[in-house]
Amino acid sequence: MVEYVGLDVSKEATAYCVMDEAGKVLARGKVASDPDALFGVLKEHCLCPERIVLETGTLSNWLARELGKRGLPVTIIDARQAHAVLRLQHNKTDENDATVLAELARTGFYRSVAVKSERAQRWRILLKARAHLVEQRRSRQNVIRGLLGTLGLRFARGSGKFARRVRTVLVAQPDLAFMFEPLLSELEALERSIKQLDRAVETQAKSEPACRLLMTVPAVGAVTALAYLATIDEAGRFGKSRSLGAYIGLTSRRNQSGEMDYSGRISKQGDRLLRALLYGAANSLLTVVRRAHPLKAWARRVKKRTSHKKACVALARKLAVIMHRMLMTGEAFAWPQADTKEAATA
């Protein structure tokens, strides 16, 4: 007998449903969200599971990897697609959700999502922790600027040596210093923590050959290169390099029906952090990097036709495609031949 299993995973417990190939429910219940507990209950109710389906979520990759190590065929499906089906139920419960997921496993009506490796997830944790601290730093700086601004106290923009500049402004306002000192001390602690994580990112990037390869792209540093690898994980799972633009959410949405055919803004699907980092790299390539390159010239032509932001988005999409191709071929970023000859003669 062939069985299909749906798992509705939550933090503490997981609802399961076992269904045969005819759609008959063989078993259902709840068990702790633990690989050993799930393996035990599935072994009790399943002779030969054909497919086990669960949605994307916090525990999904971990459970899929651990159950896969135990020989179970686990597939993670896109939660957005699953939600479109699950919301059609009249009574939404964990048990009913598991039943619908088992039905999706039986019919094959789903879009699978790649299971991230533990290495990629560790990189992602590092980058997310750093991004969180950077956001906290920006928030503290804005709070201090706003509070000082209510009294007409201003200073130059920028994040470098921020606390020292604030203390310089407060010299003339000694009665305010004690109010801002706790905020400044917290800000300095954030700075130290960010530098510590920056060093960790640099260490990881230097120890990974693929990161060093991606860092040959102008304006792509250790953070962007590591975020790229953490997001795509295995480059070989993409059949075409140009698929990376859509995967990261840098391609425009399309709405076509009958005589209407409308292309809108970018989809913004996929990883937000990587999308922001690639946009920043594209912006730096356009505005900071002085060396000439056909890619940069192309982006400047796009900028003349549209706007700077749209040119950066288009260039970010190009960079995503180029970086994937570099991973597939192992070739470093290529500068124009003329620049290479000039560098050799110099």
Structure tokens at 114: 């790649």
Q: What is the pLDDT of residues 173-216, one digit of tens each?
A: 889 889 999 999 999 999 999 999 999 999 999 999 999 999 99
Which residues form the domain of 76? 3-113
Q: For the ranges 10-19, 89-98, 217-226, 257-266, which has the lowest average pLDDT?
A: 257-266
Q: What is the pLDDT of residues 295-344, one digit of tens each?
A: 999 999 999 999 999 999 999 999 999 999 999 999 999 888 765 444 43
| DSSP β-ladder status, 252-257 and 260-266 | antiparallel
Q: What is the pLDDT of residues 253-309, one digit of tens each?
A: 877 777 777 777 888 888 999 999 999 999 999 999 998 999 999 999 999 999 999
Q: In whole numbers, what is the pLDDT of the chain averaged over residues?
A: 90
Q: Which amino acid is at 46?
A: C
Are 108 and 34 found together in one domain? yes
Answer for the pair 3, 19: CB distance below 8 angstroms, yes or no.
yes
Higher pLDDT, 109 or 26: 26
* The residue to which tokens 């992602």 are assigned: 124
**162 pLDDT exceeds 70?**
yes
Given 179, 207, 235, the domain boundary residue is 207
**244 pLDDT exceeds 80?**
yes
Name residue 9's beta-bridge partners: 14
Distance CA(81)–CA(138), nearest Å, equals 35
pLDDT computed for residue 173 by the predictor = 86
pLDDT computed for residue 232 by the predictor = 93
Residue 216, domain member (yes or no): no
Describe the crossing of helices 118-149 and 222-232 by its angle, rounded to 10 degrees.
130
Residue 342, domain member (yes or no): no
The structure's pTM equals 0.86
- 50-77 CB burial, b ≥16 within 10 A, e <16: ebbbbbbeebbbbbbbbbeeeebebbbb
Residue 214, domain member (yes or no): no
Describe the crossing of helices 162-170 and 118-149 by its angle, rounded to 10 degrees.
20
pLDDT computed for residue 294 by the predictor = 92
Are 104 and 134 found together in one domain? no
Tally Cβ neighbours within 10 Å of residue 290. 7
Given 175, 207, 239, the domain boundary residue is 207
Are 328 and 230 found together in one domain? yes
**156 pLDDT exceeds 80?**
no
pLDDT computed for residue 158 by the predictor = 65
Q: What is the pLDDT of residues 16-40, one digit of tens each?
A: 999 999 999 999 999 999 999 999 9
Closest CA to 211 of 195, 193, 224, 194: 224
Are 187 and 232 found together in one domain? no
DSSP 304: H
Are 144 and 232 found together in one domain? no
Structure tokens at 3: 């069985």
Residue 261, domain member (yes or no): yes
Q: What size, in residues, is the chain?
A: 346
pLDDT computed for residue 249 by the predictor = 92
Are 78 and 142 found together in one domain? no
Are 37 and 100 found together in one domain? yes
Structural domain total, the chain = 3
Percent of the chain with pLDDT over 90: 67
* The residue to which tokens 């039943």 are assigned: 99
Percent of the chain with pLDDT over 70: 96
| DSSP β-ladder status, 74-77 and 49-55 | parallel
pLDDT computed for residue 344 by the predictor = 38
Q: Which amino acid is at 292?
A: A
Distance CA(173)–CA(167), nearest Å, equals 10
Structure tokens at 13: 């417990």
Q: Sign (positive/negative) of CA torsion 79, 85, 88, 91?
A: negative
Torsion of CA 268, 273, 274, 275, to 10 degrees: 30
Residue 145, domain member (yes or no): yes
Distance CA(203)–CA(186), nearest Å, equals 26
CA 135 to chain centroid: 16
Are 229 and 331 found together in one domain? yes
pLDDT computed for residue 283 by the predictor = 96
